[in-house]
Amino acid sequence: EKTLVWFRRDLRSFDHAALHHALTQSKQVYCAFIFDRAILDDLPKADRRVEFIHASLLELDAALRALGGSLIVKHAWAETAIPELAAELEVDAVYTNHDYEPQAIARDAQVAKVLKAAGRSLHTFKDQVIFEKNEVLTQAEKPFSVFTPYKNAWLKKLHAESDEAALHPYEIDAHAHRLVALPESTYPIPSLTDLGFEKTNLSDLNIPTGMNGAQDLLDAFADRMQRYDQTRDFPAVKGPSYLSVHLRFGTISIRALVRRALDAMRTGSGGSGAAVWLSELIWRDFYFMILFQHPHVVGRAFKPDYDAIVWESGDHAQSLFQAWCDGKTGYPLVDAAILQLNQTGYMHNRLRMVTASFLIKDLGIDWRWGERYFAEKLNDFDLSANNGGWQWASSSGCDAQPYFRIFNPITQSEKFDAEGKFIRRYLPQLSKLSNKYIHAPWRTPAMELKMAGIEIGSNYPAPLIQHDEARALTLQRYAVVKKVA
């Protein structure tokens, strides 16, 4: 039997479910990745993610060649390209890993249909999460909608199954001789320009790509993991792992990360940080499950009553939104965070919460606008976690913060960037302001402002809104959902 392994968001040559199953169940295995025009055609022409994928594919091809195989890379519509490639290579089956996004599920169903009509089959496998779909359910056999009981049931299941089974790496090397190598000229890997994309600042940012890049980040994080619980909320500190983009594109295996966290907890080397980090990895599984179980969250509130909220509209809303996107709200922590996103494609988790809350509950803008902006800019954009994060901030999600909990952007700034280190990094024009006033420059006494070289409304914007007034408006706006809160 001949098989084609279709790589998507699993760009690695080790611990890979579909590749493992293909190698154990067939004699000849081809590997392919499609730059899907259904996705690429809508992206801005300079997109760090396309460049990240491209670099990671070159590494994957080299790794597969070292194992005796190769990677076919095409720029086409995946829905038709995969069945065509399967016919060209005369394979019996296509193997791929599960994707939980509604559009991807529809695409895979279509591919399966076309393959079937030609006498071929599509086999899919769980790979990018530990537990999926209906694997973790309540006692009443319903999906969870609250995180903590989900997490407890997730951990119980992991231990009940014995971690060895759930976390065991999928063996590749022993069967690698079944991989088929094609000459590089048969399906040459398109360049970024061939794909219609321009180079970005990805390499200037030193964002490591591919499996090696992910491994380096993990090794570096292993030394920081024990302090994760204390450092993770402070954006000026190197606290988190920065592995999100690698989890997004599968250059690292989630099983390996969970094993690392559990080992660190067992040996004690993980201090009080490892368990907290593991919790974040479980949040990731949780949001994939929510998206799979409740696909209506794409575009609509998880809690339907929240769709009745009336957001700001018209030119007024457009100009508020634009100021937020440009990092010109007049609130330094919010502005610095957006500049971090615009300049690097990454935003610290605390700041994702602060900026999302500010857009929704200070500016009164529909959470979907912010969700879309993050989707365009984040290197690690993942529909499930992004939607989950935005619906958490707008209080419309499962297990979201209550609608009347409204972050104060000044207090958040004083608490999590007390010395303004993060702010100064992205807003150097504020660098001379004292720690006392850097969180709300418009409150600075005129003399100090002048000495610091700042003119409000000229080289730094006046605040778009006053938080206390905005808060009162938001409580009115959310009054429609009071009965369900």
> Catalytic amino acids?
280, 283, 311, 349, 367, 390
DSSP code, position 181: P
Alpha-carbon distance 39 to 47, whole Å?
12
3-state secondary structure of 196: coil
Kindly indicate which of the ranges 293-301, 373-381, 414-422, 424-432 contains the residues binding ligand FAD, using the contact rule CB under 6 A.
373-381
Give least dist CB 379 to ligand FAD, A. 9
Please report the DSSP string for 161-174 in residue order: T-HHHHHPPPP-GG
Q: Please answer whether residues 147 and 119 qualify as being in contact, where contact means their C-beta atoms are separated by less than 8 angstroms.
A: no
What phi and psi, each to the nearest 5 degrees, are found at residue 380?
-95, 15
CB 64, CB 179: distance < 8 Å: yes
Q: 129: which 2 tokens?
A: 């999460």
Which of these segments, 68-76, 374-382, 413-421, 448-456, binds ligand FAD (CB under 6 A)?
374-382
Phi (first) and psi of residue 137, to 5 degrees: -125, 165
Q: Which of residues 50-89 bind ligand FAD (CB under 6 A)?
A: none
Q: Which segment (182-190, 322-330, 379-387, 423-431) binds ligand FAD by CB under 6 A?
A: 379-387
Indicate the residue among 170 and 287 with the shorter CB distance to ligand FAD.
Answer: 287
Which of 150, 242, 331, 422 touches ligand FAD by CB under 6 A?
242
Q: How far is CA 319 from the centre of its chain?
A: 27
| From candidates 352, 361, 377, 467, binder to ligand FAD by CB under 6 A | 352
Residue with the shortest CB distance to ligand FAD: 389
Total residues at interface with ligand FAD (CB under 6 A): 27
Tokens 């080992």 — which residue?
Answer: 263
Q: Is 389 in the site for ligand FAD (CB under 6 A)?
A: yes
Quickly count: other Cβ atoms within 10 Å of residue 465's Cβ.
18
Nearest distance, CB of residue 177 and ligand FAD, angstroms: 34
Q: Does residue 151 belong to the site contacting ligand FAD (CB under 6 A)?
A: no
Cβ neighbors of 410 (< 8 A, separation 6 or more) are 331, 439, 440, 467
One-letter identity of residue 421: K
Contact between residue 361 and residue 468 where contact means Cβ atoms under 8 Å apart: no
Work out whether 243 is an interface residue with ligand FAD (CB under 6 A): yes
Q: Give the pair of three-digit tokens for residue 349.
A: 């988790």
Type and span of the H or E element at 298: none
Residue 336 identity: A
252 binds ligand FAD (CB under 6 A): no
- In this chain, which stretch among 17-25, 70-78, 385-393, 406-414 interacts with ligand FAD, using CB under 6 A? 385-393
| Smallest distance from ligand FAD to CB 273, Å | 10
Contacts 24+ apart (CB under 8 A), 181-190: 181/65, 181/68, 181/69, 181/70, 182/30, 182/70, 182/72, 184/70, 186/72, 187/72, 187/73, 187/74, 189/57, 189/58, 189/61, 189/71, 189/73, 190/35, 190/73, 190/74, 190/75
Query: Of the ranges 141-149, 160-168, 329-337, 345-353, which one interacts with ligand FAD (CB under 6 A)?
Result: 345-353
Decide: 121 and 94 in contact? Cβ < 8 Å.
yes
Toward ligand FAD, which CB reaches closer, 374 or 403? 374
Among 23, 50, 353, 452, binds ligand FAD (CB under 6 A): 353
380 contacts ligand FAD (rule: CB under 6 A): yes
390 binds ligand FAD per the rule CB under 6 A = yes
Considering beta carbons, is residue 356 or 449 the nearer one to ligand FAD?
A: 356
Among 73, 333, 356, 359, binds ligand FAD (CB under 6 A): 356
Confirm or reject binding of residue 244 to ligand FAD (CB under 6 A): yes
Residues 281-320, one symbol each (x = binds ligand FAD by CB under 6 A, - = not), give x-xx--x---------------------------------
Stretch that binds ligand FAD, among 97-105, 199-207, 352-360, 451-459 (CB under 6 A): 352-360
Residues that bind ligand FAD (CB under 6 A): 232, 240-244, 247, 280-281, 283-284, 287, 349, 352-353, 356, 374, 378, 380-382, 385-386, 388-390, 393
